Structure 1
């Protein structure tokens, strides 16, 4: 008998009405903005009304460096939340919204899998409540206002050669990376080179996920630097009077989305920057709201801990005043074998030596997370081909690092398969006093912040940055931006900038290709290696297999 697909499992779910999900968190139905019977947004008035409540305990789920074998970070986050509720804890999970780019590309959706999913899976992976479209619209409105201002006389003196603001679309479209706009004659403006990024790389996405309220949102939007004059004076969105209209476009989107897991436990899904090209965390407003409503809040940060967890700690927690109590690092035997040199088509064969060799990646991540003062638990996301000897090897290696590794079977069993993980997370939180602190201080020079991350977390010997990059960073420091954290954009597949260099490499140099100031989001993006802010589709994209069946139901999403 063939196994059911994720979408088939999701479709058979015994959903409850969203008002009943909200009731589990003591949210009155009147405070919901309902999208049908299974999705709702939470009103800002209600969020404001609960600010005096104490905070619950925050748990971060991160992972080893990703491989084609799969790790299952979102699935484990959902499973852990269900497990905590199963053992009697009031828990909610906070996740990012999926981008259409990977849904139609190679990665697929991001709603979990098996019996550890958030639902309605189809809606969450496709358009959802329209948040990403609102972010795209706000971003492209600003783009249009820039070119319109230039067309009508350019009163601000914007240097068209120094416009830093591109356009966005929530799709993997490599043809739009570099374009020439305003072609076709006088009526279409002044031709110039520009390009598109994917929506999740937009500074507005980062602002959306870091703003604490509407006022903060508008201030940050207004502070976006869109370009410079010939004298290198910064031009901001508020100089174009764009911040008010952009905030209006984001008004509804800014309210957190409430859905449920397959076991009818509450889940907030809101915002969705990638972690390889952005800061990789769901919205601050969703996370902080959840902390007021539950005893435990499970959240995830994108890709491996070197990207997602580092940015969660150094950007999100630093800026939002969050203090995580524990971290779960997700690993799979399959992925560790790949890090140990095993080809993808040989992963079903037992290979304890490869597990041990590949576990150097896990060990590096454990050590890195500990540098932030937060206790660690390893979650072994179980696959059917895993052998006891391989699992025991992972547990032994984790034990050598002073942490416990727990086998998790949430994909097959739901909360029954994560009760042990939930119990261990609670034990760690209650037994160990987390002493969270970011990796570097605010007043460290920007390039030194990059070097600190590269040498302390990536195992690099140094950072390579040419004189243009160094001068740009110095200019920003002189302009008052030196206190900002850095957001490193690099491949997710390696601690280095070489995607093929797996395991735990040391001694490599991290090349800084360019730097970008996100004055509204309040961080500096450091682009390293060959990373792209507009991905492309693979040779055979997932879109080729997505369709409606004869009953009008979606097939092919995963």
Structure 2
């Protein structure tokens, strides 16, 4: 897999058999379903046997933004986990899978885990097959008489594929004659954005998976009543397609430590977190579990707390915010061509975004730690400016240099994290209550997290909020869909204008409401530069 290399990749120890890596967390070969010598899934029997074991400590790693200058949250999570193991703790990293679409569009930054090839263990293919099988059932039902009275104009279940292709965003299907069905508008989104992917990542076990799949709303009938996947008797087959994909994938880090790589919901159009079953299993196996969330603190930390933690009963001990002088220069408006030149004032200006992220995390009752990823072009004065900005909020800031110094550059950060985790916590706070109406949940996120004074929407979108509230979905949490660029723009606007909501989408099986803000293409298309596949 063409991934960005860790500086020590060429010098890393030889990969061990995965059965040997598993022994570090007390897993015997009987607890593994092997996919070759270096990757495996853990079995359902193993997961069930761990049920009564105490949980370890959960740490969330995120970044100021999704750019490379911000520092990869996934790369930092692996480096921190390896450092914790070096200093005597038993640690695992627990991260999302990279999609094929990400790899081919050069959007993938999964670091230093080269065993994770383009197809890995086939989880994303299983999600694609399950999603599209349900889509095929809808059209097949209409073709053979439409007993459920599906209104073809109100089918809300589009198809997906694990490939960026703008030509498939909006299509007309079933052309070519009577035998091909009834022509209608359709389109393809990305597998990573599929509700099936979200369901896979939020299900606690197979029974929960089956229930959630049956609850997917696929269409509405002529009386505008919802029709579910269970109405098509689809949930059993969908669950069978996903049975193996539900099991976490075990691989190894550059230092031969165990890591779960499981689930790949999109960070901008999905909830952006690795699977609950992988996270909760890792907490039973390790003293410390290091996970990341989506595209950065701009967009996905709120989804981690509001959706993943709320669903799974998780409480992280701390949140590590990865930043760098270069990232904060970009936040202040400096162009990418100028980020390597010393500019202390630009770093200081960019710290406004960092301080906002710290404040946002504290609203959930969790402490933040700033990790400053330094590079040879950064100056001590720039690093000092970040440390000073964090200290105003009584937030510790630790420099680390894992891209430059490798192992030695992370140990101090790991020790500090262990000390912080030992401190007492008041417990996780929610940003809003389940009983708050959907409109006001979205408004709370916009005002508390993005600094807007309010949210605004046209009459059609306001009607969507009201309809979902009236239909009994008002208790669900909100997944705010916003690109990192839109989030940064909103922070710069502050109170200048409200946050505009463009669309509201029900994910009844995943059990959240997607609130779309700004432009967010369901299938972004390949970028202008030559994609990686040409030189793979």
Tell me the residue number matched to 1:38.
38
The CA deviation at 1:12 is 5.7
Deviations 1:194-245 (A, max 9, x none): 1010000000000000000001001100100000001111110010011111
The aligned counterpart of 1:323 is 315
1:24-423 to structure 2, matched below 5 A, reads 24-67=24-67, 69-107=69-107, 109-112=108-111, 117=112, 119=113, 121=114, 123-423=115-415
Match in the other structure for 2:511: 522
Call closer, same or farther: CA 1:387–1:8 in 2, change over 3 Å: closer
Structure 1 unaligned blocks of 5 or more = 548-558
Shift of 1:538: 1.0
**Residues 1:539 and 1:269: Cα distance change in structure 2 (over 3 Å):** same
- Asked if the contact 1:66/1:335 (under 8 Å) is kept, the reply is no
| Cα distance in structure 2, aligned partners of 1:434 and 1:42 | 33
Structure 1 residue 70, shift from structure 2 partner: 4.1
1:363-512 to 2 correspondences below 5 Å: 363-495=355-487, 498=489, 505-512=494-501
1:321 and 1:528, CA in 2 relative to 1: closer, same or farther beyond 3 A? same
Q: Indicate how the Cα distance of structure 1 residues 335 and 88 shifts in structure 2: closer, same or farther if over 3 A, else same.
A: same
**1:121-172 deviations in Å (ceiling 9; x for gaps):** 1x41411101000000000000000000000000000000000000000111
Alpha-carbon displacement from aligned partner over 1:326-373 (angstroms, at most 9, x marks no partner): 100111111101112211111111100000001111010000000000
1:78-113 alpha-carbon deviations (Å, 9 max, x no partner): 111111111111110100000111211132x3322x
**What's the counterpart of residue 532 of structure 1?**
521
Tell me the distance in 2 between the aligned counterparts of 1:294 and 1:92. Answer: 6
Which one is further off, 143-152 or 124-133?
124-133
Give the 3 Å change call, closer, same or farther, for CA 156–301 of structure 1 in structure 2: same
Contact 1:325 1:434 in 2 (8 A): no
TM-score w.r.t. structure 2 length? 0.96
What is residue 551 of structure 1 aligned with on the other side? none
Structure 2 vs 1, CA of residues 503 and 330 (structure 1 numbering), >3 Å: closer, same or farther?
Answer: farther
Matched, 1:6 2:5: yes
Q: Secondary structure at the match of 1:246?
A: helix
Q: Is the 8 A contact 2:199 2:209 kept in 1?
A: yes
* Counterpart Cα distance in 2 of 1:198 and 1:37: 30
Cα distance change of structure 1 residues 7 and 137 upon mapping to structure 2, 3 Å threshold: farther
For residue 436 of structure 1, report the CA deviation from its aligned partner.
1.0
403-412 or 268-277, which moves further after superposition? 403-412
2:78 aligns to what SS in structure 1? helix
Q: Aligned-residue CA RMSD in angstroms? A: 1.7
Structure 1 369/40 Cα, relative in aligned 2: closer, same or farther at 3 Å? same
Pairs aligned (count)? 533
Q: Secondary structure at the match of 2:71?
A: coil
Match of 1:19 in 2: 19
CA distance in 1, matches of 2:495, 2:372: 25
Q: 1:142 to 1:405 in 2, by over 3 A?
A: same
Q: Which moved more, 1:470-479 or 1:374-383?
A: 470-479
Separation (CA, whole Å) in 2 of partners of 1:239 and 1:135 = 20
